Structure 1
Amino acid sequence: MDTTTATGAAGAAGAPATAGAASAAATATAGTAGAPATATAGTAGAPATATGSTATTDAAGAPAAGATGTVSATATGVATATGAATTSAAGAPAAGAAGAPAAGGAGRTAGAAATGASAPVLWGRAEQQDFRSRVRGALLGSAIGDALGAPVAGLSLNGIRETHGPRGLTELAPAYGRRGAVTAATQLTLFTVDGLIRAHVRRDTGTWHPPTDVHRAYLRWAATQRDWGPDERRADNGWLAREEWLYARRGPGRPCLTGFADDTLATLDQPKNPTARDAAAAARSAPFGLLVGWEPALVLQLAVECAVQSHGHPTAYLSAGAFAVIVHGLTRGEPLDAAVQRALGLLGARPGHQPVTDALLRAASAVTGAAPGPEAVASLASGDGRGAEDALAVAVYCALVAEDVPHGLRLAVNQGGDSTATGALCGALLGALHGETALPPAWLTALEGRAAVLELADDLALEMTQGPALHGPALITPAWLARYPRG
């Protein structure tokens, strides 16, 4: 087993401290806002990679900015905090509560003091409210887009017009026996959030490997596809797995069912379903973009590592990573076109990126072409329109040209590709961009599971902004631990 020295800063409950210079020193104190003195970079036998002389995790859990490793489970190593911390000014998240953002509408923070045992909570009330609105917007928007696209899933554009009239689908229509029904895309998105919150909670025990916690959450989703209802004997299921409405099969793809059929943790070197290239992995990846305290490159890496648990084709997992980076930029307050450019820049270093890069470039260039409409959307597809890269291109284009949320979502689902995925992807983008108040009230009212989506969104926002007040090595809020067990 390799032992390396951690260079992560012990920021308040999760974000490394920065000083704004090329490197900043901070003093990591055991128990400081949730940062243990010894951080084990991995759980369940799958520690984080350490490829250089520095460890790839910081004392609070997020991978150390500027570190040469990743959050992948491809090597065995234990990171031991020695008290000194160094972060790169080029990419370290700003210090704050459990991931305070560095810049943008949801994250104007001042940066932590370079010395001192504890970094202060830097979220102002306005920043917290803006961040929560964007988190709600992303998750509710994704669910609304999913529900709008569900009735036309599998139909061609002509088929949609024959069924719903020459304008296509313009309002929520019945699917799975009701209006506003969501599909497996929303179910898995919710379990992604559940896994990310648990990863932060379990960090208090000295272990940190988010892909493991997200994978465990996906296994809990898989149980909802097999069982009749919640297993009350499983105390470690948490509250989400006890939601009875989630115990319904809503068109899950075969890669998801087979990928989460056992507890084997896939890696980039050994992904599951290496030929699976549909958009299901991307459609569940918006929550990774809500980790606003992370460097964008690490958001991409985490999304990719979680995507390969079911989708091993590069276009599928890189589409998931690029989508997460775009959501991340929007949640930080960046314009959509700037967030897309950031994703393009990060994709360039990834093997097999070209189809995804080309898809995003097509989406960006189409904005200045013909007037928005089904024909313009159809021109974005490189093949049959059902690959992850095509769904991402459609979602980005529709979000770029949208006059408002309903216009963008109608444009996204009225096409012959994967309408549930394009709706979910576009909805998350528009929701993160504009916040929850931009979402159409009539569609929100009819949305299946709206209360649970809202509850989970607020819990994620609470964990990201107020995590130190909820849990830590020397602090446990029983109600929070009951909702998000460490097991």
Structure 2
Amino acid sequence: MIDFRSRVRGCLLGGAIGDALGAPVEFRSLADIRARCGDAGVRGYLPYEGRFGAVTDDTQMTLFTVEGLIRAGVRTDRGIGFTTAVLRGAYDRWLDTQTLPGPPRQPDGVLAAQPWLYARRAPGTTCLTALTSARKGAATDGPAANDSKGCGTVMRSAPFGLLPGRDPGYVFDLAATAAGYTHGHVTGQLAAGAFAVLVDGLRRGQDLPTALAGARRVLVGHAGHEETTAALDAAVRAARERPVAAETVESLGGGWIAEEALAIAVYAALVHPAPDQVTDALALAVTHSGDSDSTGAICGNILGAWHGEDALPPELLFEVEGRGVLGELADDFVWEFTDARRRLHGEHGPHTRWTTRYPGA
């Protein structure tokens, strides 16, 4: 239980740290970043959105994934199977945070009541468009009607891998299905699935190479896997054969699309694998001319799930935006998906205010 909680908290908080580290330098060239931060890259927060440690839509959507999974767990009291359909509602609540000025008078759940989440931090156009179209009546019985494989699928999918007691193939399908709610390209969906299985292996206590091999085995069983498989293989080769440098990161792509973002994050974690190298890995993951916040978030998820909360650098953790809410949701996730849930809710009781915090509707 202690180990599981540390990995869940580490994964969510680590993702937020990587997100906040990379957000201020997204869209900046590598030369500009080095001129500002030195050859070591981004190792501390830069000002962004009027503060240090501000997060983006990556962390926002990850939180709503966590909340959606908890609410899916609560729904099982009613005899309804655990289903990703609940994630549609979670992402719709996230859409409210991007369109409303603040929490409504009667917020739907714990996250909808958080004023700090009602900040637009460069949300992905694909996510906004797909969710808005669904709200207006677009068909929702399959993947979104677009051909996007943007990294917005991967950056929010770590929580699927944190679910205990699930078969890796099931975890893959959950993440891939939820990714399809906003992104129609198969690569975006499969990259999300592979990332979730990777996190699942780390949560089980595997090291990164072992977890990565397991994710690849599940991935290659799906039609259309080739782009994601090639990207992950390139990351492994780069870690083994190329210099540890931002130029190697950029050879893997810009991170704007799903498989490239996953590959960059994996590469950074592979070349800085020790618990005392978390800052080194995150700095490498965000110091490039691409989607730095997403590659940082994904790398932070990996490192936190692998090494646990105690490995996170305190000089970054203490001021990351939303730290309290991230910790609360992490603990709630642990309680919902362990035997502790029996003390919180059940079909025949107990009846606590847990179901007010996480309505099963």
Which TM-score bucket, shorter chain as reference?
Answer: over 0.9
The answer on 1:347 being equivalent to 2:239 is: no
1:377 to 213, 226, 249: 249
Instruction: Please give the alpha-carbon distance, in whole angstroms, between the structure 1 residues aligned to 2:72 and 2:105.
Output: 22
1:202 — aligned with what?
A: 75
How far the C-alpha of 1:159 sits from its partner, in A, is 2.4
Please state whether the residue corresponding to 1:231 is helix, strand or coil. Answer: coil
The answer on 1:327 being equivalent to 2:210 is: no
Instruction: Please give the alpha-carbon distance, in whole angstroms, between the structure 1 residues aligned to 2:124 and 2:23.
Output: 14
Please state whether the residue corresponding to 1:178 is helix, strand or coil. Answer: coil
2:22 — aligned with what?
A: 149
Contact 1:146 1:183 in 2 (8 A): yes
Q: Give me the CA root mean square deviation.
A: 1.4
Identity of aligned residues (%): 48
Q: Write the deviation string for residues 342-376 of structure 1: whole angstroms up to 9, x where unpaired.
A: 11111112121101000111111222213311122
Given the two structures, how large is their TM-score scaled by the length of structure 1? 0.71
2:271 to 387, 397, 401: 401
2:258 to 369, 388, 396: 388
Contact 2:190 2:225 in 1 (8 A): yes
Contact 1:227 1:247 in 2 (8 A): yes
Q: Write the deviation string for residues 385-444 of structure 1: whole angstroms up to 9, x where unpaired.
A: 422111111101111111411000000000122111100000000000000000010111
Contact 2:40 2:283 in 1 (8 A): no
How far the C-alpha of 1:225 sits from its partner, in A, is 0.8
Q: Write the deviation string for residues 145-201 of structure 1: whole angstroms up to 9, x where unpaired.
A: 000000011122122223333433221111111110000000000000000000000
Instruction: Please give the alpha-carbon distance, in whole angstroms, between the structure 2 residues aligned to 1:447 and 1:216.
Output: 27
More strand by share: 1
The answer on 1:485 being equivalent to 2:359 is: yes
Give the aligned residue type for 1:279. C
2:343 — aligned with what?
A: 469
How far the C-alpha of 1:215 sits from its partner, in A, is 1.0
Instruction: Please give the alpha-carbon distance, in whole angstroms, between the structure 2 residues aligned to 1:316 and 1:458.
Output: 29
Gaps of 5+ in 2: none
Number of matched pairs: 354
Please state whether the residue corresponding to 1:260 is helix, strand or coil. Answer: helix
Instruction: Please give the alpha-carbon distance, in whole angstroms, between the structure 1 residues aligned to 2:131 and 2:55.
Output: 20
1:404-419 matches, cutoff 5 A: 404-419=277-292
2:302 — aligned with what?
A: 429
Instruction: Please give the alpha-carbon distance, in whole angstroms, between the structure 2 residues aligned to 1:241 and 1:265.
Output: 25
Q: Write the deviation string for residues 212-240 of structure 1: whole angstroms up to 9, x where unpaired.
A: 11110111110111111111224xx1111
Give the aligned residue type for 2:78. T
Moved more, 396-405 or 131-140: 396-405
1:257 — aligned with what?
A: 128
2:160 — aligned with what?
A: 288
Contact 1:391 1:417 in 2 (8 A): no
Instruction: Please give the alpha-carbon distance, in whole angstroms, between the structure 1 residues aligned to 2:139 and 2:84.
Output: 8
1:309 — aligned with what?
A: 181
Instruction: Please give the alpha-carbon distance, in whole angstroms, between the structure 2 residues aligned to 1:304 and 1:203.
Output: 21
1:110-125 matches, cutoff 5 A: none
Please state whether the residue corresponding to 2:263 is helix, strand or coil. Answer: helix
Instruction: Please give the alpha-carbon distance, in whole angstroms, between the structure 2 residues aligned to 1:185 and 1:285.
Output: 10
The answer on 1:247 being equivalent to 2:121 is: no
How far the C-alpha of 1:210 sits from its partner, in A, is 2.2
Contact 1:266 1:308 in 2 (8 A): no
Gaps of 5+ in 1: 1-127
Contact 1:277 1:311 in 2 (8 A): yes
**Structure with more relative contact order (C-alpha pairs < 8 Å, separation 6 or more):** 2
Give the aligned residue type for 1:371. P
1:138 — aligned with what?
A: 11
1:439 — aligned with what?
A: 312
More helix by share: 2
Q: Write the deviation string for residues 221-277 of structure 1: whole angstroms up to 9, x where unpaired.
A: 10111111111224xx1111101100110110111111221345745xx42143211
Moved more, 323-332 or 206-215: 206-215
The answer on 1:185 being equivalent to 2:55 is: no
Contact 2:255 2:295 in 1 (8 A): no
1:1-150 matches, cutoff 5 A: 128-150=1-23
Give the aligned residue type for 2:111. L
Give the aligned residue type for 1:210. T
The answer on 1:271 being equivalent to 2:143 is: yes
Instruction: Please give the alpha-carbon distance, in whole angstroms, between the structure 2 residues aligned to 1:380 and 1:166.
Output: 19
Larger radius of gyration: 1
Contact 2:255 2:292 in 1 (8 A): no
Give the aligned residue type for 1:278. G
2:210 — aligned with what?
A: 338
Instruction: Please give the alpha-carbon distance, in whole angstroms, between the structure 2 residues aligned to 1:273 and 1:333.
Output: 38
Moved more, 449-458 or 360-369: 360-369
